Every structure is written in C-alpha cells, then in structure tokens.
Amino acid sequence: MRVLVIGGGIGGMAAALALLGEGVEVEVYEAAPELEEIGAGLQISSNAARSLQRLGLGDDLERVGVAAEAIDMRDLRTNELLHHTPLGEAAAQRYGAGFYQVHRPDLLGMLVAALPAGIVHQGQRCVRVTQDAEGVTAWFESGRTASGDVVIGADGIHSVVRRQLLGEQGLEFSKIIAWRSLIPASRAAHLDLPPRCHVWWGPHRSAVVYWVSGMELLNFVGIVPSEEAHAESWTAQGEVATVRRSYEGAAPQLQAIVDLVEAPFVTGYYFREPLPRWGTGRATILGDAAHPMHPFLAQGACQSIEDAVVVARCLSRHGRAGAADALREYEDRRRPRTSRVQTLARSHERMWHMSDPEEIDVRNGQLRTMMDVDPAGETIWSWIYSYDPLEHADAAADDPAAVMQRTESRRAWRLWANMIGPEDREKGTPGIRDAYDRMLLDNFPATEGTVIEEVDADGVACLLVSPPDTADGPVMVHLHGGGYLVGTAASSTGLASRLAAAIGGRCLVVDYRRAPESVCPAPVEDTLTAYRWLLHQGVAPSRVAISGESAGGGLAVAAAVALRDGGDSLPSCLIALCPFADLSLAGSSIDETAGQDPISTRQLLTQMAASYLQGQDPTTPLASPVYADLRGLPPLLIQASDVEALRDDALRLAAKAEGDGVDVEVDTYDDAVHMFPIFDFLSEAGRAVQQVGSFVQRHV
C-alpha cells in the first residue's frame, strides 16, 4: 500500500512516521519550499506523548521538551490560585506518559529527523486530488502528479483536500486573537517561574506562559478580543504597546512577563462545527483539516498526533484491498473523540473569560471544591490525558451497551449514554440541563389521566401530581435527581405519577433551587419549606413520605436530618432511590464501574459536587448524609443497582442508618442502570415502584 500525505506539519509528519511503523509506504508533500514552523510553543499532553513514545520518539521528546510539573490557573487581576493540577512524575504514573512543553520548530524537526531521506517532498502545493476504484492521484501547482492507494489531507485549516472531498465548509472567525512571543531566559530569570503551565483567567482575556527549548525560551500567549488587534494571520507583527495595553491592571507577576514581550505576532482563531464526515472512498483528512481547535484545552497538535496513529493502524489492519473500509473505521473511531474535544475547547472560552463578578465567584468556588474532592485534577483532565489512541484503535468495535445483559437494559444504557450531544456540551450547564429534561420528558411522560397542578408552597415552586381517585391518599414529597445541577420537577413527573399511583396518593414534586446559582443547603431549605407548607394544608406528618432519586435521594435523607434538628414533626418514612449521598466521592464503586455506568462518571459527579459545594466541606452532613447523625429518623427504604457508580453511596448510607438505629430496608438490582425506576419499560422499574408503594402503605 502507498499513502500520499498532503501537508508536512506536525500531523502530516506524525502520520508518515506512524504509517512507516505499520509497514506502509508513504510520501509526504509539503507546499512550503522549506520545512518550518512558526516560532511559538505548544503543549504535548500525556495522550500525545504516549503516542510519540510508541513511535520511538520518547527520548527525543524528553530532549526537546520541558517536562511540566503542574498546571496553575490564577485570577488575572489578583493572582489568586484558582486551581492546581500536579503533573510531572505523578502524571506519568497516572496517565502513562509525562506532559511536555515544546517549541514548535523543535517538535517538527524531531519528527522530520526520524523519517528516512526522500520521503518528504517540499515546494509541492497540492491543487487537486482525484480517485477511482484503483487508487488516488494528487495534482500539484508545479505540474507534478503523484499516485497511490490512499490520500490523507493534513494540510491545515484551509485544506485543499477537504475542499475537494467535501466541498466548501463554513469557517468562522472566533473574534479572539492571541499575541505570541518568545522571551529569552536571560531576560526572564528574575521572574523565578518554575517549569509549569501558568494560566491567568480574566474578564474577556487570558494568558498562558510556559518554558520551552530546555528552559532557554519563555513562551507567552495572550488571548484577547480581536478588536484589540488588527491582524488575523499567523505571522503578522503586532505593536508591543498594544499588547501591554491589553493587560493593563493585570497582577504584578503577569504584568512583569508582559513587559518583557518584544516583537509579538498575532494568531487569529477560527472554528468550524464538527463535520459529519471526513472523507470519501480512498481519501480522508486529519488534524486541523478535520477539526480545528480552540486553544483552551491545548489539544490541537495532540489530536493531530492521535489521528495519525489511528489512521495508520486502521490502514495496516485492512490492507490495500480494504483501504476504503480502513478510512471509514478511522473516521468512526476518531470523530466522537475529536468532536468532544473540539466542542469543549470552544465552550471553555466562556469559563476562562468570564466578566460577571457573581459568575466569577461561582466559578472560583467550584474550582476550590474540585481541588478538595479531586486534588489530582483527574476530573478535568483524565478523559483527555489517559486516552490511548492505539488501544482504542485495537479495541473491538463492540456495542458499548453490551456491558448490560438484557436488551431492555441496553436500551436504557444507550438513553443515558446518548443524552448529551455535542451542541449541549458546547452550551455548558444550560445545555446539559436541556438535554437531561429533554431525555426524561420525551421518553417518560406522566401516566395517562394524571393531573399535574402548579403549586406555590410558601415561595417554593412545586408540582402536585395526582393520579385519578387519589385525593384522600397519602402524600409523597418527591425530590428530583440531577446532581443538584440539572433536573426539574417537570422532568420528574413521569416517575412521580407512577409512585403516586403505587402509594394510592399524590406526589408533591419540589422544584428546589439548583447549583451553581444556589449552593448547599438551599435545596434542603426549599424541601423543608415545601414539607411545612404541606403540613399547614392539614396533611398529617404520619400521612407524608419524603422520597428522591439520585441527588434527590441524598437530599431526602438530608432534609429529614434538618427536620429532626429543627424540632419538626417527621414524615412517616423516607425513600432514597439510587442516592447520591457522598459528595466527597469516596465510594469505591465510582471507579469500579467506570465504563459500565454511562451517566454517573467521576468527571460529572465531581462537576456536580463542586457546583453544589463551592468551597464547603464535601463531608458536610446536609450535602453528604453518609456522614450525618441519622439517629431518630423514620424508616428508610434504599434502592440501587449492583452495577451503578453510586452503589456504594447506597450501601454505605444503609449501613450508617442501620448503625444509628434506623429501620432500614435496602434492595439492589442486577443488570440495572442508575435511576432505573424512571425507565418504565424495565421490568425492575415496575418491581421497584411497587416495592415503594408497599413500603409507604406499611408506614403511613
């Protein structure tokens, strides 16, 4: 097999090396007459470093790169440390490779030096590619042509190959630019900057600083609104005074770095929505040609390197006769990953450049809690840095839902796994909220004949869910799930309608305040207000149960603790369905079920805990009732799945309650997803709801 790689940048050279390593013949065609990269830095995180090690370049990367000790994120105005991620040897142990900061020309030179002579052809600007059943042909401005079995476009954001394959694709200017400069170490020695990635976040702007070239050069990147500069090309020279004006009022440490900048040049950032496909037949694209990245995850070069090793492995596996199949497999394996990175990198601009003081306080509180809950920073970075592209390329292309045993449980698994799309992720918390409500409301509406009324419970919005002929029955105060971050009373009415029917009564579903706008104990306070309002309507406490799913399950127990401590009359019983009951995330099942539970991942749980706590102790009892004194609480029913991430939260809560003298029933269900009672097509959902009904009827 012979592969033509169009483009001799980092992605193209990495592809050539990977193809040679797989025994595939390759030729690289580069438009520039001389191989060169713009004199700036880039970061090679552990995922890409591992790939370079696999290509035999581990020692070379150590030589040309600076091993980063940590990532420090600070407030641009005050220099307050917002988040610290340890790297160095800890990252190498955790993710399988270190984290390096590299001068672009050094990295490109390292890749080129590893290639045999005669493979790279310079001064060959591709103008057209064609293909037929037998192979591909690339046509060059020089009049030269080249033929092969496959063509890979690694020719950047303005890719000729992509345009030939897919037509014109929209490219939008992001309205942000980056000032870039390299500062000699001799001028920056007094700054005493350790070999870390130093990041400053500020209103409408940020800065990133790190050492490259054996700590001989300090790389500065200043990201500001585009109207503060008047150039969009990679090499346009800027005025030093303009850069300094962009950082007036910055923290003294950052200001001192900016004052050292000389002859800055400008980078304009562009983006394109994730493409639905990357190629046709024997032709494909990689790197910026396929998925241009915003800089906020530092993954542009890294994702190109991942692309390179995966496309090489797929081509090697399928061989010449299966070239088109190989490229389809490459695309199927890579597009979900790059789309997620691409989307989140773009969405991070808002987090970096927040300007509203209240939003900044919330963000900073979340970051402080994340350092408490996850001091290694795995929640933020593990999904990127621990990724092994070759391991992924070699994995069987099985249905990931096959971790579940039954057809119906796989259906439920897929609903969770596919709930949040790229557009939802890009919108951040509002997008995730929309996705959660959409999934529940579209799939699990209230049962037919149920009446749903809006209720103002002394200022707390609630929904009263009443099946037919249940006005005289008990009342269940129900608390929706969603990790305190997402979910609404409306999205929980499907489950509430079935619970109400099972108890022969009604459900008062509380629309409690959510994080990050409101923090612990706001949902507890809202639950108590709604409960007290219900009693004031003449409903006896002995006729009331409090229930909740997921975070609502933990909240139900926390609310009962607060009622007891406040001297209130307690409800007849409590029900915690798959409870999120330990926001310190100490339960071992969170990691044991990684890959099995598609929704309650450590990453998402940490985000939820950080949003709710915002600097509070994760073991505070009203947030994490596994640490509460549960003595004197009413009978408690706990349900959970054997294979969900929060299984240990449920079991530990049951053990704590039993140890404190509470009458506890705990039931676990095999081959069930998190919050399985919601999924009304599951047989175990019906059994669980009926068990709740029997439990409540025994105690009211």
Does 289 have pLDDT greater than 80?
yes
Confidence tier at 484 by pLDDT (50, 70, 90): very high
CA distances from residue 445 to 225, 395, 441, 448, 634 in whole angstroms, order as listed? 45, 38, 5, 9, 31
Predicted local confidence at residue 555, as pLDDT = 98
> Measured between alpha carbons, how far is 140 from 329 in angstroms, rounded to an integer?
28
Q: Which strand (E) or helix (H) includes residue 117?
A: none
From 105, 80, 245, 134, select the one nearest 179 (Cα to Cα).
245
Predicted local confidence at residue 238, as pLDDT = 65
> Measured between alpha carbons, how far is 523 from 161 in angstroms, rounded to an integer?
54
**CA dihedral angle for residue 78, residue 79, residue 82, residue 87, rounded to 10 degrees:** 170
Confidence tier at 37 by pLDDT (50, 70, 90): low
Does 398 have pLDDT greater than 90?
no
Calculate mean pLDDT across residues 70-76: 96
CA distances from residue 528 to 149, 214, 611, 699 in whole angstroms, order as listed? 69, 60, 21, 21
DSSP 401: G
Indicate left, alpha or beta for 71 from its phi (over 0: left) and psi (-120 to 50: alpha).
Answer: beta
E runs forming strands in 122-187: 126-131, 136-140, 145-148, 150-153, 172-184
Calculate mean pLDDT across residues 381-396: 91
> Measured between alpha carbons, how far is 454 from 465 in angstroms, rounded to an integer?
9
Predicted local confidence at residue 38, as pLDDT = 66
Predicted local confidence at residue 535, as pLDDT = 98
> Measured between alpha carbons, how far is 495 from 282 in angstroms, rounded to an integer?
50
By the 8 A CB rule, do 465 and 500 touch? yes
Q: Which long-range contacts (CB under 8 A, 24 or more apart) does 445-448 make?
A: 445/493, 445/494, 446/493, 446/494, 446/496, 446/497, 447/494, 447/497, 447/498, 447/501
Calculate mean pLDDT across residues 446-455: 96
Spatial neighbors of 678 by CB under 8 A, at least 6 apart, are 440, 444, 494, 495, 549, 685
Calculate mean pLDDT across residues 392-400: 83
> Measured between alpha carbons, how far is 439 from 106 in angstroms, rounded to an integer?
48
Listed range (153-157, 238-242, 511-515, 670-674) with the worst mean pLDDT: 238-242
Spatial neighbors of 96 by CB under 8 A, at least 6 apart, are 46, 50, 386, 388
Structure tokens at 426: 């890009």
Listed range (7-16, 209-218, 418-427) with the worst mean pLDDT: 418-427
| Average pLDDT for the chain | 94
Predicted local confidence at residue 212, as pLDDT = 97
DSSP 296: G
Calculate mean pLDDT across residues 315-336: 96
From 174, 140, 138, 145, select the one nearest 157 (Cα to Cα).
174
Predicted local confidence at residue 236, as pLDDT = 55
Calculate mean pLDDT across residues 87-91: 91
By the 8 A CB rule, do 173 and 185 touch? no
Predicted local confidence at residue 669, as pLDDT = 96
Calculate mean pLDDT across residues 211-230: 92
Confidence tier at 234 by pLDDT (50, 70, 90): very low
Q: For the chain, give me the number of helices (H) and strands (E)?
A: 24, 27
pTM over 0.85: yes
User: Which superfamily does 1-34+122-169+274-347 belong to?
Assistant: FAD/NAD(P)-binding domain (3.50.50.60)
Calculate mean pLDDT across residues 477-489: 98
Active site residues: 210
Predicted local confidence at residue 9, as pLDDT = 95
Predicted local confidence at residue 232, as pLDDT = 40
At position 426, the amino acid (one-letter code) is: E
Does 427 have pLDDT greater than 90?
no
Predicted local confidence at residue 34, as pLDDT = 86
Q: For 38-100+172-271, give the CATH class.
A: alpha beta
Percent of the chain with pLDDT over 90: 87
> Measured between alpha carbons, how far is 269 from 267 in angstroms, rounded to an integer?
6
Predicted local confidence at residue 240, as pLDDT = 87
Radius of gyration (Cα) for the chain, nearest Å?
A: 28
Give per-residue pLDDT as tens, 166-201. 998 778 888 999 999 999 999 999 998 999 999 999
Calculate mean pLDDT across residues 13-29: 98
> Measured between alpha carbons, how far is 42 from 266 in angstroms, rounded to an integer?
15
HSE at residue 316, side-chain half, CA atoms within 13 A, is: 20
Calculate mean pLDDT across residues 143-172: 93
Does 474 have pLDDT greater than 50?
yes
By the 8 A CB rule, do 559 and 546 touch? yes
Spatial neighbors of 590 by CB under 8 A, at least 6 apart, are 600, 602, 605, 645, 646, 648
Spatial neighbors of 265 by CB under 8 A, at least 6 apart, are 38, 179, 180, 181, 234, 235, 236, 237, 238
Does 471 have pLDDT greater than 50?
yes
> Measured between alpha carbons, how far is 437 from 419 in angstroms, rounded to an integer?
10
Calculate mean pLDDT across residues 286-300: 95
Predicted local confidence at residue 233, as pLDDT = 40
Sign of CA dihedral 648, 651, 654, 660: negative
Listed range (67-81, 230-244, 263-277, 344-358) with the worst mean pLDDT: 230-244
Beta bridge partners of 475: 506, 544
By the 8 A CB rule, do 602 and 591 touch? yes
Q: For 455-699, give the CATH class.
A: alpha beta
Listed range (38-42, 68-72, 201-205, 669-673) with the worst mean pLDDT: 38-42
Backbone dihedral angles phi then psi of residue 295, each to the nearest 5 degrees:
-85, 0
Give per-residue pLDDT as tens, 525-581. 999 999 999 999 999 999 999 999 999 999 999 999 999 999 999 999 999 999 999
Calculate mean pLDDT across residues 207-228: 95
Predicted local confidence at residue 16, as pLDDT = 98
Place of tokens 């929706």: 480
**Segments making up each domain of the chain, as ranges:** 1-34+122-169+274-347, 38-100+172-271, 455-699
DSSP 627: G
CA distances from residue 1 to 330, 426, 651, 692 in whole angstroms, order as listed? 16, 39, 57, 63
By the 8 A CB rule, do 82 and 201 touch? yes
Place of tokens 């440490």: 253
Instruction: For residue 584, give the 3-state DSSP assignment.
Output: coil
Percent of the chain with pLDDT over 70: 98
Helices 88-95 and 378-385, interaxial angle, to 10°?
A: 60
